[in-house]
Every structure is written in C-alpha cells, then in structure tokens.
C-alpha cells in the first residue's frame, strides 16, 4: 500500500485535473472534450472493474461504512496491546486508502459530467443557431 501522503497527493492532483477540465470546457474545444470524455469513460469502467464490489452500494451504505469504521476506530483507541495497536493502525490506513479511492472515483464521475454538460450545451446552441 502506498503511503497516505502519496495517495493524498494523487487525490489533490486529480482534483486539480478536474478543475482544469472545467476551465477548458468553457473554451468549448469539442474534439478535445470528446477525447477526454472517452478517456474518462474508460477510466471509470476500469475503476468499476477493479473495485466493483466496494462501490455497488448507494451513498447511504457508504455513510454506514464510514460510521462503522469510525466506531471501530474509537473502540481500537482503548486497546493497549502493541500487536493489536499495530494491526489497528494498518486497518485504519487501509480505511483511509479506501476513502481516497472512493474520492478519486467520484472525481472521475464529476469530470465526466462536466464534459457531458458542455457537449450537450454546445449541441443545443448549434441546434438553436440553425433553426
């Protein structure tokens, strides 16, 4: 597993890329947007294939998952055994890594939606101008 700081850096980079896409979308470069949309569609499909079992649930199940993890963290904080503490740290780090993966997935979905919206608006504007 990569260090959390490295994973958070990846998340920050990905968030910046989503922001850049939204800015580029304002330029209405349709060809570039369609290529990015295709790339994102593939990335989303790949993420779904890799982690489908984790992300099939709805938002409410994700909330429950996080609540369960938080409750477990509180319970683990009271333990004093070194081996248990090390195991608990490993579990907590994996939980954080999973949350970062979910955030990356949601960013892909958001970027795809932005591109889709700009393309749809461009299509509507073109139809309006030819009518």
Rounded mean pLDDT of the chain?
81
pLDDT-above-70 percentage for the chain:
85
Q: How confident is the model at residue 7 (pLDDT cuts 50, 70, 90)?
A: confident
Does residue 21 register a pLDDT over 60?
yes
- Looking at the structure of the chain, the number of domains it has is 1
- What is the pTM assigned to this prediction? 0.56
Q: Which domain holds residue 100?
A: 4-20+29-130
Does residue 28 register a pLDDT over 80?
no
Residues 89-106, mean pLDDT to the nearest whole number: 89
Alpha carbons within 13 A on the beta-carbon side of 57: 11
Give the list of residues 6+ apart from residue 4 with CB closer than 8 angstroms, or none: 93, 96, 97, 100
Does residue 89 register a pLDDT over 70?
yes
44: number of Cβ within 10 Å: 15
pLDDT of residue 23: 76
């Amino acid at each position: 597993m990569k260090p959390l700081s490295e994973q958070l850096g990846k998340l920050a980079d990905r968030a910046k890329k989503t922001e850049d896409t939204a800015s580029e979308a304002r330029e209405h470069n349709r060809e570039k947007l369609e290529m990015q949309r295709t790339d994102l569609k593939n990335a989303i499909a790949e993420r779904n294939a890799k982690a489908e079992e984790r992300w099939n649930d709805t938002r409410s199940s994700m909330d429950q998952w996080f609540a369960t993890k938080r409750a477990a963290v509180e319970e683990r904080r009271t333990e004093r055994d070194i081996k248990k503490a090390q195991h608990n740290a490993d579990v907590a780090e994996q939980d954080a890594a999973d949350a970062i993966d979910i955030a990356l997935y949601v960013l892909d979905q958001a970027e795809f939606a932005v591109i889709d919206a700009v393309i749809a608006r461009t299509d509507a504007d073109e139809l309006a101008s030819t009518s």
